[in-house]
Chains A and B, each alone.
Chain A
Amino acid sequence: MLKIKNLHASIEDKEILRGINLEVKAGEVHAIMGPNGSGKSTLSAVLAGREEYEVTEGSVDFDGNDLLDLSPEDRAREGVFLAFQYPIEIPGVSNVNFLKTAINEKRAYHGEEAIAAKDFLALVKEKSALVELDPKLASRSVNEGFSGGEKKRNEIFQMAMLEPKLSILDETDSGLDIDALRIVAKGVNTLKSPKNATIVITHYQRLLDYIVPDFVHVLYNGRIVKTGGKELALELEEKGYDWIKSENVEL
């Protein structure tokens, strides 16, 4: 589904990603871990299409498309979803109106008809229940006045509504208490299928108790320096990132 080859990216001439190689297949869950400043969020931003980052080398193939060549909206329409670490508040734009526009633009992109109002409302009801999001919040302005936990649940709610092929969860666990974490994880796990894939970007092992990865990658200094199974996350938790750093002093 996703093939990242030798990806280099920089911001304001500072190189952050220094040759990332990663392949994600349908049905898989990958976790990307790493210390602060290792490039985790840059990777998600580059995949989502933030303009401030310049890709200097390498390629990203998404189901046969050159992902880097697509606008952010076309990436989303092709099935890439980024759950933001810090969801943006948009006063005046209602969650529901925004999601309806998003769904219909995606449908139009694929040559499908707009969703019927009734079907849309049924979908809102079903998916908001999944993440235990108060249906009232669905009609409020996007993220405005939401608590930290509500914002993150709203991200997963949007993900559920848009049914992406590839979901990238950027530090979705940050700022969540254990109950909210459980709800978010339940949502992600329910949405998991053999046809889609998930990349979980996280600092801590904690989230991976709930969303169990098939692969764990350790990102350090803009490169993946170690890959293993879910036990790698536990090892990291135990030994800390210094262990990785000392193994990679030459980097």
Chain B
Amino acid sequence: MTTAALTKKDILVESLSQLDFSNEPTFAQELRSKAKEALNHLDFPTSKTEYWKYTRLGKIINKTYFVQNKNAVPQIDVTSFTIPNLDSNIVVLVNGYYSDELLRIAPQSGVTIKSLKNAIQQPDSFVSNKLGKIAKAEKEIFIALNTVSFTDGVAINIDKNVACEKPIHVINVVTEKNLIANTRVLVQAKDNASVKIIESFVNLGGAESFTNSVAEFFLSVNAQVEYNKLQNKEGESYQISTEQVYQEANSHFTINTITLDGTLVRNNLNIDVDAEGCETNLNSIYLGKESNHIDNHTIVDHLKPNCNSNEVYKGILDDNSVGVFNGKVFVRPDAQKTNAFQQNNNILLTDNAVINSKPELEIYADDVKCSHGSTTGQLDEEAIFYLQARGISKKSAINLMISAFIKDALETITIEALKNYIDTKIETRFTK
């Protein structure tokens, strides 16, 4: 531990200290003070830390940020961030605050979508039981930072036997330069409940901003949750996001991570599959350009028997961009009859693009089916010429091949309009 590193942490903590949480109920204050205590013992990881080996945080931690106060949140237009042809409930987080003005929610019995800050104030809400239960501050400095200082977020609860009719689209936007936004999402799907969520992380003039987000998902028996994370912060921008998931029996959890832009993006996915009959899907498409650095770390922990997990991560790295994939699957001694599949495929479009890929399996049970694999290559020049020889332009040929490459990673997105939106985004990226 060096004094310089300490100073960086101190500077960051100092910038967050003007936030006042003194009117929060006891449970929340305790949570925050525990996290503060944890923060005292944690430090920013260096490349010597195995978990952060390929990602240097200098770009994020060598900067000074400011936080926004609720009353200074600007009026903005978010229509450019909505998904065309999608009828959804829309929640907007601006610079870390839940915007009542931009809210578009169709009320449905059994479905609660609330500002996390408001939900904390209500003692009967599920929040007091669940917040911080699985995203543990003492485990990771960025979880601790978030817990100490999250300004707001979204609390979603789906009651027993209720299917949330419309997808919930959370637009997480930053509008100010050098801003740090700590946001938090808490999702609970009770027995037989189901919900589809989209969270977009975007920028509206928020250059060099840092979004540190944490999401916790609790799935009860037979619950089904699909979470689609769309990372598209243009320009110089930083994002670290942590998703912590807890699955009970026969539940289905799907997370699709689509990273289209970002100077430094780090995703930490941690999924505990703690009961039988569960299904877990983790898919991702990440497109790197310029000097983007996109790091995906995933952990699926199979604790109980008869569960399936599938992971397909596909990267296309252009220019000088760097990708990191570390997928870890644990199969614990109890978790017999686990089927766990993991694959990471990458296309490097230039000689300077880099991928660090590390699929890992740790198996302690003896009756399981598990596989993992990683490939890295280039677009097949022969195939491009073949398509050109049929009258297809080189750009369209590349586009056709890229769509073919990523197709299976998009299969678990069940919101058709979102799929089309992503297809179009990718297509315009490679035909321009």
Contacts and interface: CB of A to CB of B under 8 A. Distances in A.
Interface of A: 48-51, 71-73, 75-77, 81-82, 84, 87-93, 97-99, 101-103, 105-106, 109, 141-142, 158, 162
A219 B380 CA distance: 31
Contacts, number: 76
Given A73-B391, A158-B390, A101 B385 contact: no
B378 to A, nearest CB: 14
B397 to A, nearest CB: 8
For the complex of A and B, the 8 pairs showing the least CB-CB separation, nearest first, are: A92-B404, A76-B391, A72-B388, A88-B386, A102-B390, A106-B391, A93-B404, A73-B388
B316 to A, nearest CB: 14
Given A49-B389, A88-B382, A158-B390, A101 B396 contact: yes
Contacts of A141: 404
B269 interface: no
A132 B251 CA distance: 48
Nearest to B401: A93
A151 to B, nearest CB: 11
Given A88-B380, A88-B382, A88-B383, A98 B400 contact: yes
Contacts of A72: 385, 388-389
A49 B382 CA distance: 12
28 contacts: A48-B389, A49-B388, A72-B388, A73-B392, A73-B394, A75-B389, A76-B389, A76-B390, A76-B391, A77-B391, A82-B389, A88-B382, A90-B380, A90-B386, A90-B404, A92-B405, A92-B407, A93-B400, A93-B403, A93-B404, A98-B387, A98-B392, A98-B400, A102-B387, A102-B392, A105-B396, A142-B386, A162-B390
A146 to B, nearest CB: 14
Q: Main SS of chain B's interface residues?
A: helix
Please indicate which of the listed interface residues A50, A72, A91, A98 has the most CB atoms of chain B within 10 Å of its own CB. Answer: A72
B393 interface: yes
Contacts of B391: 73, 76-77, 102-103, 105-106, 109, 162
Contacts of A99: 390
Contacts of A89: 383
Contact of A91 (B393, B396, B403, B404): B404
A101 B399 CA distance: 11
A84 B392 CA distance: 16
Nearest to A143: B386
Contacts of A91: 404
Given A72-B385, A93-B401, A98 B407 contact: no
A97 B390 CA distance: 12
A102 B390 CA distance: 6
A91 B396 CA distance: 16
Given A84-B389, A93-B403, A97-B400, 20 more contacts: A49-B389, A50-B385, A73-B388, A73-B389, A73-B391, A73-B394, A82-B389, A84-B386, A88-B382, A90-B386, A90-B387, A92-B401, A92-B403, A92-B404, A93-B400, A93-B401, A98-B392, A102-B391, A105-B391, A158-B390
